[in-house]
Amino acid sequence: MEAISLIGPNTEALLLENQDNFLVPADNVATVMYQHSLDHALLVLTNVGYSKIPVLDKDDRFMGLIGLNDIVQKMVSLTTIDTDHLAGLTVADVMEIGVDTVREDAALEDILHLLVNNAFLPMVDDQRIFLGIITRKEILKCTNHLVHELERQYLLVPKQPGGSDTETATDGLKVS
């Protein structure tokens, strides 16, 4: 089945004009291994200053996400907060699995939708090898570019509502 894009070609081109910044490549992303201790993961997260980072296996396959919250929750019992509760636990025990990911050929459409509910999206290849992340921050940069350039580069002519012009213009598009 052929995917039908609901995003117009001029819009997509403008949004992606600075696409070299779109993906944060794996080399620039802080990660932990799933067999690492939670103590170690806590130190990594604290050092990098992010609230959530990807979890990989020894072959760089994407396994899930781990956040400061996941770890601190393990430290909190009914009335006390104690790092002793972390003893013996690994990243694999608390990481978030079933995380939304995208492939290299993901449609902009899908990326934008998934980023509404995810602060970032891990990108993986067909072996689940971790390639990097797409962040809301990078999309925000592209959105800035789009909204600034749109009416500098194009004259926006309203389409006739309900008329035959509209029929032609939306030809091939499925409007939900």
Backbone angles phi, psi at 139, to 5 degrees: -65, -40
Q: Is 141 in the site for its own copies (CB under 8 A)?
A: yes
| Minimum distance of its own copies from residue 10's CB (angstroms) | 5
List 4, 7, 30, 87, residue binding its own copies (CB under 8 A): 7
Q: How far is Cα 59 from Cα 57, in angstroms, rounded to an integer? A: 5
Is 75 or 129 the residue whose CB approaches its own copies more closely?
75
d(CA 24, CA 70): 24
Q: Establish if 113 lies at the interface with its own copies (CB under 8 A).
A: yes
Query: In the complex with its own copies, which residue's Cβ is closer, 125 or 167?
Result: 167
| Rg of the chain, C-alpha, whole Å | 21
Min CB(128)–its own copies separation in Å = 26
Instruction: Check residue 78 for interaction with its own copies (CB under 8 A).
Output: no
Choose, by CB under 8 A, the member of 87, 144, 163, 167 that binds its own copies.
Answer: 144
Which amino acid belongs to residue 166? T
Beta bridge partners of 123: 102, 132
Helix/strand/coil for 164? helix
Angle 100-103-104 from CA coordinates, rounded to 5°: 145
Where is 52: in which H helix or E strand?
A: strand 52-56
Binding site for its own copies (CB under 8 A): 6-12, 15, 39, 42-43, 45-46, 49, 51-52, 67-69, 72-73, 75-76, 81-83, 108, 112-113, 115-117, 119, 136-137, 139-141, 143-144, 146-148, 150-159, 169-170, 173, 175
